[in-house]
Copies of this chain bind each other. A is one copy, B any other.
């Protein structure tokens, strides 16, 4: 059974009582992070912690725990749900407030969750995405601000897509919750602007460096539409091909050789984590 640690108290997730008088819900003042375990070990723990700490610093919400204390909570929750591989969500908000605006003491929640399961066939056939002219507000941090996605995704079924590719002034940035790569021959290309620097992105860049020429730079929407292969990376997706962008079919609607190579590589890497 999954549990939630909230300011020192561990409760089964379904029983977590929370007051609405929190700056996360009243003022959208919060951030989160999300990672999973492989073989019982939090994947890239140091990198996730570093990002969580950096996000909190930019939003100026003091972190109530340090890395070591947080690790202990994570491993306690891991044991409490039976020692199966699982995901973890950290949620840090401005906390309860007396006047609807003033921060007193942040609320930190650490929650264990079921693993996300791959959609069958998705890694072979890829996903279809729509484009949207937009840059996220403070994209470098993992704030809870997903309101544009929540508006847009109501149109996904009608458009036959499952995600959105953000672009602005001719340049792409990222999908709603994952990074984007282009493969062109031996080149692996990924944007450097207006993005959240994903941990899987970083992992893939590491795994790719001996086999690809890597370019981290502004990437135009036009070259993305013309790329032989495009894929996206995230904790839940690992390396997932994008095979259609609006009306443009990429890589004949199938995973391409460069993406397949990197998907196999990360699958092998996490198997041995």
Which residues from chain A sit less than 8 Å from chain B, CB to CB?
4, 13-14, 16-30, 32, 58-60, 89, 91, 93-94, 100-101, 103, 109, 111, 137-138, 143-151, 153-154
Contact = CB atoms under 8 A, between A and B. Distances in A.
Contacts of A29: 146-147, 150
Q: Is chain A's interface secondary structure helix, strand, loop, or mixed overall?
A: mixed
A137 B153 CA distance: 18
A28 B144 contact: yes
A25 B150 contact: no
A20 B22 CA distance: 10
Given A94-B150, A147-B138, A150-B103, A16 B20 contact: yes
Given A20-B111, A26-B91, 18 more contacts: A14-B19, A18-B20, A20-B91, A20-B109, A25-B25, A25-B30, A25-B144, A26-B32, A27-B144, A27-B147, A28-B30, A28-B147, A29-B146, A58-B151, A59-B147, A60-B154, A94-B150, A143-B147
Number of copies: 2
A109 B103 CA distance: 21
A18 B145 CA distance: 20
Contacts of A151: 58-60
A146 B28 contact: yes
Contacts of A25: 18, 22, 24-25, 30, 91, 93, 144
B20 A143 contact: no
A23 B25 CA distance: 9
B143 A28 contact: yes
A65 to B, nearest CB: 17
A10 to B, nearest CB: 14
Contacts of A137: 137, 145, 147-148
